């Protein structure tokens, strides 16, 4: 009997020792309870419909999909590892080769606008960057003082600091805007944490959405916009986050550039899709001035240049290749316009050419 009691005592001591040894290997401040996840089910069509047991959506009948949410304690532990911030404090490298910490050096205490890009993009990125150049000009002296822009490459293996610096120069990027690269895993972590990651689909081979995350780290107010949105609207939103100063300047710009309400579809398409890189009669910008283009280019060629400019360059079309080289190898993006809209746009350029571009000068600068 005594021998049996001794065996039980030794077994108990051994189990306690194993438990202590395992817990001693766990990260500081993280318990096993903190690493558990709370499982929840949600409807793909009606995300407000949630359940802990699965089943079907009462609104549409679709099968609820599992969504695992990190336990609150686990999220708190993760934030503690990043210095108490929800932003990963990973190391990135600027276009000038300077090493910076994402949270400590770029986000903390600032009003920022942040996007994901890659320099070989044939779709949204070129237009996205050109639109942000317009936005930067509207913000004027507030750039680099009251607000900071960050463009993070999702193709860091190609987009070295030297490549990013050349890319920024092509688009005439001014002060207060930093281009960043780094380790693939770190950039994936940032994009996922900020909700900017997106898998490519058949309808969007680009692989990411042209989103602009705007926020004030001090107040904790953040908003996500399309990076292709109206630049004056975005400038006013940024001004609200700054809290002072910029609004009067931006409103003054609006008054200066104001024109009569123009609901012409051709003018609208040009303003939203083309005016970031082109003018009609105002001279070259990122791309060529389009005054007279309908007189010197075949309509079928113009249609292809608008719908599939990348193919023309890949096919070594002499005109497309010449323009590609002349304008610093900036790729014109596919805009995804319906054929009817392409025809409307060409007709608009034709009318503006006939009138000397006066309407385009006044009404298409967005």
pLDDT tens-digit map of 160-200? 999 999 999 988 999 999 999 999 999 989 988 887 765 44
Q: Which residue has the higher pLDDT, 139 or 17?
A: 139
> Quick one: pLDDT at residue 104?
94
> Quick one: pLDDT at residue 341?
84
What b/e string do you get for 214-250 counting C-beta neighbours within 10 Å, with b at 16 or more? Answer: bbbbeeeeeeebebbbbbbebbbebbebbeeebeebb
The domain made up of 265-363 has a fold known as: Cytochrome Bc1 Complex; Chain D, domain 2 (1.10.760)
> Quick one: pLDDT at residue 263?
54
Handedness of CA 277, 281, 282, 288 (dihedral sign): positive
Read off the pLDDT of residues 296-326 as tens digits, 9 standing for 90 and up. 999 999 999 998 888 898 899 999 899 888 8
> Quick one: pLDDT at residue 251?
45
Structure-token pair, residue 320: 């497309």
Residue 181: how many CB atoms within 10 A of its CB?
A: 27
CATH code of the domain occupying 91-254:
3.40.30.10
Task: Give mean pLDDT, residues 138-143.
Answer: 90
For residue 275, name the pLDDT band (cuts at 50, 70, 90): confident
Q: Which residue has the higher pLDDT, 5 or 216?
A: 216
For residue 111, name the pLDDT band (cuts at 50, 70, 90): very high
Task: Give mean pLDDT, residues 343-365.
Answer: 70
pLDDT higher than 80, residue 205: no
**Helical spans, DSSP H, in the chain:** 2-25, 72-81, 125-139, 161-170, 184-193, 231-242, 246-257, 265-269, 293-296, 299-307, 309-314, 318-326, 339-354, 358-363
**Percent of the residues in the chain that have a pLDDT greater than 90, as a whole number:** 25
- How far apart, in whole angstroms, are the C-alpha atoms of residue 66 and residue 220? 29
Positions of CATH 1.10.760.10 in the chain = 265-363
Task: Give mean pLDDT, residues 216-245.
Answer: 80
> Quick one: pLDDT at residue 45?
59
> Quick one: pLDDT at residue 113?
92
pLDDT higher than 90, residue 78: no
Which single residue is written with the structure tokens 């890949």? 314
Q: Which residue has the higher pLDDT, 121 or 98?
A: 98
State the Cα torsion 44-46-50-55 to the nearest 10°: -60
Average pLDDT, the chain: 75
> Length of the chain, please?
366
Residue 39 is inside which H or E element, if any? strand 37-42
Positions of CATH 3.40.30.10 in the chain = 91-254
């Amino acid at each position: 009997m005594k021998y049996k009691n001794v065996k039980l005592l030794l077994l108990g001591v051994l189990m306690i020792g194993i438990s202590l040894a395992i817990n001693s290997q766990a990260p500081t401040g993280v318990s096993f309870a903190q690493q558990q996840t709370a499982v929840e089910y949600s409807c793909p069509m009606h995300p407000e419909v949630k359940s802990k047991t699965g089943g079907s959506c009462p609104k549409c009948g679709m099968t609820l999909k599992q969504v695992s949410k990190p336990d609150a304690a686990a999220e708190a532990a993760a934030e503690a590892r990043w210095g108490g911030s929800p932003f990963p404090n990973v190391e990135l490298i600027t276009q000038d080769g300077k090493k910076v910490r994402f949270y400590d050096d770029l986000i903390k205490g600032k009003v920022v606008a942040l996007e994901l890009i890659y320099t070989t993009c044939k779709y949204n990125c070129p237009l996205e960057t050109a639109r942000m150049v317009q936005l930067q000009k509207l913000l004027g002296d507030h750039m680099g003082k009251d607000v900071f822009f960050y463009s993070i490459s999702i193709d860091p293996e190609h987009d070295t600091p030297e490549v990013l610096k050349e890319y920024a120069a092509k688009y005439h990027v001014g002060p207060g805007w930093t281009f960043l690269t780094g380790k693939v895993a770190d950039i994936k972590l940032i994009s996922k944490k900020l909700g900017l990651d997106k898998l490519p689909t058949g309808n969007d081979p680009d692989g990411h959405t042209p989103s602009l995350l705007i926020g004030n780290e001090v107040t904790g107010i953040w908003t996500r916009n399309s990076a292709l949105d109206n630049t004056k609207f975005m400038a006013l939103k940024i001004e609200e986050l700054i809290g002072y100063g910029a609004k009067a300047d931006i409103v003054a710009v609006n008054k200066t550039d104001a024109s009569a309400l123009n609901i012409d579809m051709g003018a609208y398409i040009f303003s939203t899709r083309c005016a970031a890189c082109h003018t009609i009669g105002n001279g070259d910008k990122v791309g060529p001035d389009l005054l007279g283009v309908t007189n010197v280019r075949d309509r079928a060629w113009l249609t292809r240049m608008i719908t599939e400019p990348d193919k023309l360059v890949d096919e070594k079309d002499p005109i497309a290749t010449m323009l590609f080289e002349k304008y610093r190898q900036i790729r014109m993006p596919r805009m995804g316009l319906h054929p009817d809209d392409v025809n409307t746009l060409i007709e608009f350029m034709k009318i503006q050419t006939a009138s000397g571009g006066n309407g385009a000068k006044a009404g298409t600068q967005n």
